[in-house]
Amino acid sequence: MIIDSHLHLYPSEVARDPRGWAATRGELGWSTCVAPAERPSLQGWATVDELLRHMDDAGVDRAILQGWYWQHQATADEQNDWYHRWIQAHPDRLSAFAAVARPDAPALAATRRRLDAGFIGLGELCPQVHQTAFASPEWDALMSLAREYRVPVTLHVSDPVIAPPGPAGKMPPLDEYRALARRFPEVRFILAHWGGGLPFYELSTRVSRDLQNVLYDTAASALLYNKAIYRRVCDVIGPERILWGTDYPLLTHPRRARKPGFALDLDDVRTAGLSAHEETLILGGNAARVFGWA
Ligand SMILES: [Zn+2]
């Protein structure tokens, strides 16, 4: 089974005018990221039907829609409404994580309703956008909700060396993600984008011991690292804690394709020198285990 654990999706009215849509909602962080005014964007756009067609073309069985790290809970609620509609229309192909903008009491209540309605995780969260420190009562309450529902939490992590500083501001240092994982050992964390390089610190057994409840996803890998990273991270942490994700419909191979799709990202995994067993786990076996589809 091939499962993409990290993609985002928007209705066509958003794709038609992302800056205008974002301006009316005060979501400038998002529009600066996906549709900057001053430079061409790597963001691609797709409808649900296009997504399903691209999945069929590439043999992707299931896709997990990740929420965006919105500045306002009203926008998170709006996105969760889209996602709810789409997972209900295509329960055999699509699943969703709930977007959460700020972990205050109303957002927690809204998030609880999403989990009751079949959302399978929280995220993608980005602490610097939510302006909530990991060590805060609000964050603790959100993590406790994940623990109660036994759902994973996806965190956006930037590599502090490779990724340029985003509009969201300064990210927490990587060791704070380790401290978070330690404080909530029963919560499964998915650190996006190869955890910003954190897996390489697992060469230390002391670090690795603290991160056994952490998985890393490969979203946007080709924009950050060369494909040797699949083999290298496998060698450090083993294949069981890596989830394949693409960040579709992001244009992850902009020199080779100007339209969204899965083929080039899949090809990277399949030509990265992995064994058949490792490849099976990364491309979907691990996700099937984590989400109970095995
Ligand atoms: Zn991300």
Full-prediction pTM beyond 0.95? yes
CA of 49 to the centre of ligand 1 (A): 23
Tell me how far apart the alpha carbons of residues 291 and 208 are, in angstroms, rounded to a whole number: 23
Domain that holds residue 226: 3-291
CA of 96 to the centre of ligand 1 (A): 15
Would you state the pLDDT for residue 163?
A: 80
CA of 126 to the centre of ligand 1 (A): 8
Residue 276, pLDDT > 70, answer yes
CA of 25 to the centre of ligand 1 (A): 21
CATH number of the domain residue 141 falls in:
3.20.20.140
Find tokens 């992995």 and name the residue.
Answer: 274
Q: CB-based contacts of 90: which residues, under 8 Å, 6+ apart?
A: 48, 52
Tell me how far apart the alpha carbons of residues 60 and 4 are, in angstroms, rounded to a whole number: 7
Nearest alpha carbon to residue 216 among 274, 172, 162, 152:
152
CA of 250 to the centre of ligand 1 (A): 11
10-35 residue pLDDT tens: 999 999 999 999 999 999 999 999 99
CA angle at 246 for the pair 163 and 261, rounded to the nearest 5°: 120
90-147 residue pLDDT tens: 999 999 999 999 889 999 999 999 999 999 999 999 988 887 889 899 999 999 999 9
CA of 192 to the centre of ligand 1 (A): 6
Residue 166, pLDDT > 70, answer no
- CB count within 10 Å of CB 235 equals 10
Residue 164, pLDDT > 80, answer no
Name the percent of the chain lying above pLDDT 70. Answer: 98
| 240 φ, ψ (degrees, to nearest 5) | -80, -15
CA of 156 to the centre of ligand 1 (A): 4
Residue 234 amino acid letter: C
Query: Which protein residues have a CB closer than 5 Å to ligand 1 (ion)?
Result: 156, 192
Average pLDDT score over the chain: 95
* DSSP annotation string for 190-214: EEHHHHTTGGGGGGSHHHHHHTTTE
CA of 53 to the centre of ligand 1 (A): 24
Tell me how far apart the alpha carbons of residues 285 and 294 are, in angstroms, rounded to a whole number: 7
CA of 219 to the centre of ligand 1 (A): 7
CA of 167 to the centre of ligand 1 (A): 13
Would you state the pLDDT for residue 35?
A: 93
CA of 101 to the centre of ligand 1 (A): 14
Give how many domains the chain has, as a whole number.
Answer: 1
Q: What is the mean pLDDT of residues 237-254?
A: 97
CA of 124 to the centre of ligand 1 (A): 7
152-161 residue pLDDT tens: 999 999 998 8
Name the percent of the chain lying above pLDDT 90. Answer: 89
Find tokens 């939490």 and name the residue.
Answer: 153
CA of 280 to the centre of ligand 1 (A): 23
167-209 residue pLDDT tens: 556 788 999 999 999 999 999 999 999 999 999 999 999 999 9
CA of 65 to the centre of ligand 1 (A): 12
* DSSP annotation string for 133-200: -SSSHHHHHHHHHHHHHT--EEE----TTTSPP-TT-PPPPHHHHHHHHHH-TTS-EEEHHHHTTGGG
